[in-house]
Amino acid sequence: MNELDKKINEYFPGTVVRKDLVKTVKGNAIVPSYVLEYLLAQYCATSDEDTIQSGIETVKEILRKHYVHRNEANFVRSEISRKGRLKVIDRVSVEFNPATDCHEAAFANLQIKKVLIDSDTVKKHKKLLVGGVWCISEIEYIPSEDKKICPWILNSIKPIQMSHFDFFDFVEHRKNFNTEEWIDSLIQTIGFNPEMFGKRSKLTQLIRLIPYCERNYNLIELGPKGTGKSHIYSEFSPHGILVSGGEVSVPKLFVNNSSGKVGLVGYWDAVAFDEFAGKKKRVDKALVDIMKNYMANKSFSRGVETLGAEASMVFVGNTQHSLAYMLMHSDLFCELPERYYDSAFLDRLHFYIPGWEVDVIRGEMFTNGYGFVVDYLAEALRCLRNEDYSNKYKEHFTLSNDISTRDRDGINKTFSGLMKILYPGGEADKDEIEEILKFAIEGRKRVKDQLMRIDNTYPDTDFSYKNNSDNKNVDVETLEEIEYPQHYKKNQKIDDFDTESVPETAKEASFPTAEDQGPKEGHLTIKENQRGISFNSLFRDYLKAASQITITDPYIRKFYQARNLMEVIEVVIDSKPDSREVKIHLVTIADDFNKAGQEEYFCSIQKTAIYAGVKFTWEFDSTNTIHARHIVTDSGWKITLDRGLDIFQQYNMNDAFALNNRMQKYRSCKAFEVTYLKQK
């Protein structure tokens, strides 16, 4: 275990589990993660390896004996009739039969229906009536000559979720973690390795949790396939439900006027619509109209009666086009069905998660560390629905007066939700509050900026805030606005911006270096997850005239760091005449744990670079104290790099066909700054 794993086990004993165990015990059981982790929590919520192994075998045995596979339903029914009774793990839903004035249960995998269930049990577990709940149930078989009598008898039923949660302890133990540790704990709880994500990417993952802790929160995420958009809503919490966007009706979602039965929004904390995108999908106009009213007013009508509900609404779908294409030719909502492509509906969204920033899920992104049992965190988030942290920033910051009430509500709800997730006790310093506020503003600004493209009656809005201590105004931009300024502004005609006349450096790095004027002094700031950046755009103009280059970076140790160095050398090779030789010297610090491997990388670079006219040498700083990271040329330039050459987020270097492996501009960046200085 690393230090974080030890800390989680120390302060949250009995409520954490090693996350790789879920795959170990799941086998071919098609059950949500929270069901498996509920079982693992009973037997494996420890750091003792012997207990874990014993617990794994116990859980496997429970699943083997009691989980009902749909293709084995007939065999299990036979076993129940032979033995008389049997415990099963299955998804149970309940319908009220007015003809018999009774509630009847249906078992999804076991494929039996009309099993009598007493009204007290239904009253205690109301979600059985809507969508169904995973349960451990004991079923008895008593044959009867009367065919009208169901032979299946339900002796007991226990929903698979925690029976007790101490919110005060949760808040108190959170205080033992700094912000970075707490965020990493949450990322591990979701199942990911935090080392594979930057800060912005981690916050993006955590935004997906807000519907569980914030009432009536409206969230949308559109992006490429395979980024895990729906996982949180299908696997993470027993308080959320994922439904197909094409299978939703007014009675199912809101209320059945004939029976008076309230729909999904009355029973679930979060209702997520999967596969929401698709221009050709047919959508009921009445559903959209009722949904618009509910998303704005938290209520819906049933005849003459108006009902309220607290369920948050989440919409996830796939995009078919690249970000640049959407910005240039249409907008970021262009994939939605026609009925939902409505400014009144879209204006009710509080946050737009930029799905194009989220990496496609790869095997190495999963963690084998410890995280909370997901049901435990789900209960914490549910308790936090009673809190309101939307005013926590107002002591330090003031939103622009130009921001409308609806924009302000979206910002406040996102801010409150992130505060609850990161600082459940409500305690955060000014810098931490500002970071969350910026993120909340950006997500709502993304919605509003696209609305201005769709409907020209929406006015320009100043999405800024004021620092109360010095009255300084801070403008907030979306990342795509920084990446593609030529396409972003509303009503921008395609022909208004001649991309062919823009030098590569300006297009990729938004840095004003004109090819005919030569490189200039300046400063460049790159945001986390920004794309379109390459060593070519950053360095080519400054290195192409050099004959001697010295690179100082203390962290050229691991393979990916040596690869970064090689890619800088490739820029030099590509920019120089074949007849000119260039000397490149590296100053770095020796790797105490693998100096031999480090030197092996350098020898390989040296051997291959010589064929292209580059003489590569290196030295290890004997003092082991260098911190500066810069590139100095004999042509008079000094390029200071606050992160050195380590500017890219992790990507799959083993996939020879991945664009971000082949071309740097398709990689997501870490946040970094570069300064170009002309030396005398």
Least confident of 137-151, 338-352, 397-411: 137-151
Same domain, 547 and 661: yes
Alpha helices in 12-48 (DSSP H): 21-26, 33-43
Least confident of 124-128, 137-141, 336-340, 505-509: 505-509
Assess if residue 317 is contained within a domain: no
**At residue 364, what is the residue type?**
E
Same domain, 609 and 645: yes
Predicted model pTM? 0.85
Same domain, 673 and 567: yes
Same domain, 539 and 637: yes
Q: Return the pLDDT at 500.
A: 38
Same domain, 436 and 529: no
Query: Taking the alpha carbons of 294, 228, 658, 528 in that order, is the dihedral positive or negative?
Result: positive
Highest mean pLDDT among 299-313, 480-494, 638-652: 638-652
Q: Return the pLDDT at 491.
A: 52
**At residue 409, what is the residue type?**
D
Domain that holds residue 574: 506-678
Same domain, 421 and 513: no
Same domain, 91 and 119: yes
Q: What's the total number of domains in the chain? A: 3
* CB contact set of 168 (below 8 Å; sequence gap of 6+): none
Q: Return the pLDDT at 502.
A: 36
Q: Give the whole-angstrom CA distance, residue 499 versus residue 194.
A: 38
Assess if residue 467 is contained within a domain: yes
Supply φ then ψ for residue 558, to 5 degrees.
-85, 170
State pLDDT tens for residues 473-487: 999 999 999 999 988
Task: Specify which residues 156 forms β-bridges with.
Answer: 138
Assess if residue 539 is contained within a domain: yes
Segment 289-317 shows an average pLDDT of 90
Assess if residue 30 is contained within a domain: no
Q: Return the pLDDT at 513.
A: 47
Assess if residue 327 is contained within a domain: no
Same domain, 538 and 649: yes
Which CATH number is 556's domain given?
3.30.870.30
Q: Return the pLDDT at 131.
A: 72
Q: Give the whole-angstrom CA distance, residue 664 versus residue 567.
A: 9
Q: Give the whole-angstrom CA distance, residue 264 versus residue 129.
A: 9
- Residue listed under structure tokens 């308080």: 239
Instruction: For the chain, give the mean pLDDT.
Output: 90
Segment 556-571 shows an average pLDDT of 96
Q: Give the whole-angstrom CA distance, residue 402 versus residue 441.
A: 13
Same domain, 666 and 527: yes
- Please, are residues 1 and 47 in contact by the beta-carbon 8 Å criterion? yes
State pLDDT tens for residues 485-494: 988 875 544 3
Assess if residue 265 is contained within a domain: no
Secondary structure percentages of the chain, helix, strand, coil, to 5: 40, 20, 40
pLDDT at 598 over 90: yes
Same domain, 528 and 482: no
Same domain, 520 and 635: yes
- Please, are residues 559 and 604 in contact by the beta-carbon 8 Å criterion? no
Give 369's pLDDT tier (boundaries 50, 70, 90). Answer: very high
Looking at 159, 193, 227, the residue that finishes a domain is 159
Assess if residue 667 is contained within a domain: yes
pLDDT at 496 over 50: no
Looking at 159, 188, 208, the residue that finishes a domain is 159
Looking at 114, 135, 159, the residue that finishes a domain is 159
Assess if residue 23 is contained within a domain: no
State pLDDT tens for residues 498-548: 433 333 433 444 444 444 467 999 999 999 999 999 999 999 999 999 999
Same domain, 519 and 599: yes
**Termini Cα distance of the chain:** 52
